[in-house]
């Protein structure tokens, strides 16, 4: 078999295996693991390592996956700039009493300092950002880019990223007593998935334009970690 055809075949197999994993992992698998929330971080870090090994075995280079050291400065510049915008947005919202309640999240209201630190410094960076960026903007986007156009690869990775957030959205609705009836709940989940899919497009563009996985990772980290801190602050300032 021609080397190019063999390489493409390995990427096809990798992609075919990865698509159902990403469609189900966050919604049907990881929340069932014993030992949560600690097992969430361990499972996702382990999944990251397995996925990177599979990607390398399929012939994807470290540079293709977004780990090119020569692109770190560009990644820091793109991602750092976007993270600064997010930080300014949260600060502005907290400063406005009329807007502040929109940041409040019952899931973080009762956390003490140590628990908040665990969320911001461990669970989100390792259990969420590392795994999701490697999976969606590292391996999946690169593999799809070998098989499809840039637009197609971005669209599929973003759509899966939206579906990834079905269960977390349902959890947030219940925790904040916003579940409502089935129709309202379905509408809220649909809007959240569309929003996260749009974020997936932005993250993919950052990854492509910067050439580094660091760019979307910094924006993702700022959005989630600063969001937790802003949510806790909103409760304390209420």
- Write the pLDDT tens digit of every residue in 158-178: 999 999 999 999 988 988 888
Summary mean pLDDT of the chain:
93
pLDDT at 178: 81
Q: Alpha-carbon distance 233 to 25, whole Å?
A: 31
Percentage above 90 pLDDT, the chain: 81
Tokens 């189900």 locate to: 24
Q: How confident is the model at residue 1 (pLDDT cuts 50, 70, 90)?
A: very low
Query: pLDDT at residue 25 above 80?
Result: yes
Four-residue CA torsion sign, 230, 235, 170, 125:
positive
List the domain boundaries for the chain. 3-237
Mean pLDDT of 147-160: 97
Q: Alpha-carbon distance 223 to 85, whole Å?
A: 10
DSSP label of 135: I
Q: How confident is the model at residue 18 (pLDDT cuts 50, 70, 90)?
A: very high
Q: How confident is the model at residue 157 (pLDDT cuts 50, 70, 90)?
A: very high
38-57 vs 3-24: helix axis angle to the nearest 10?
A: 160
pLDDT at 28: 92
Query: pLDDT at residue 43 above 90?
Result: yes
Query: pLDDT at residue 238 above 80?
Result: no
Tokens 């977004």 locate to: 66
pLDDT at 2: 46
Cα R_g (the chain), whole angstroms? 19
pLDDT at 6: 72
What is the number of other CB atoms lying within 10 angstroms of the CB of residue 69? Answer: 9
pLDDT at 37: 76
Spacing of C-alpha 30 from chain mean position: 15
């Amino acid at each position: 078999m021609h080397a190019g055809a063999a390489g493409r075949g390995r990427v096809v197999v990798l992609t075919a295996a990865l698509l159902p994993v990403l469609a189900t992992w966050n919604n049907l698998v990881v929340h069932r693991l014993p030992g949560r929330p600690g097992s969430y971080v361990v499972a996702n870090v382990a999944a990251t390592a397995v996925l990177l090994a599979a990607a390398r075995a399929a012939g994807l280079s470290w540079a293709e996956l977004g780990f090119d050291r020569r692109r770190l400065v560009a990644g820091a510049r793109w991602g750092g700039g976007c993270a600064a915008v997010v930080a300014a947005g949260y600060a502005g919202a907290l400063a406005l009493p009329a807007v502040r309640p929109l940041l409040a999240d019952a899931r973080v209201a009762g956390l003490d300092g140590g628990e908040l630190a665990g969320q911001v410094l461990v669970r989100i960076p390792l259990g969420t950002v590392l795994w999701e960026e490697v999976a969606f903007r590292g391996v999946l986007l690169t593999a799809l880019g070998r098989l499809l156009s840039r637009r197609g690869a971005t669209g599929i990775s973003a759509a899966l990223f939206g579906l990834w957030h079905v269960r977390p959205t349902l959890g947030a609705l219940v925790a904040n007593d916003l579940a409502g009836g089935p129709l309202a709940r379905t509408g809220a989940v649909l809007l959240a998935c569309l929003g996260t899919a749009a974020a997936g497009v932005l993250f993919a563009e950052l990854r492509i334009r910067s050439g580094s996985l660091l760019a979307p990772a910094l924006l993702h980290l700022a959005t989630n970690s600063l969001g937790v801190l802003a949510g806790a602050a909103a409760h304390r300032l209420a």
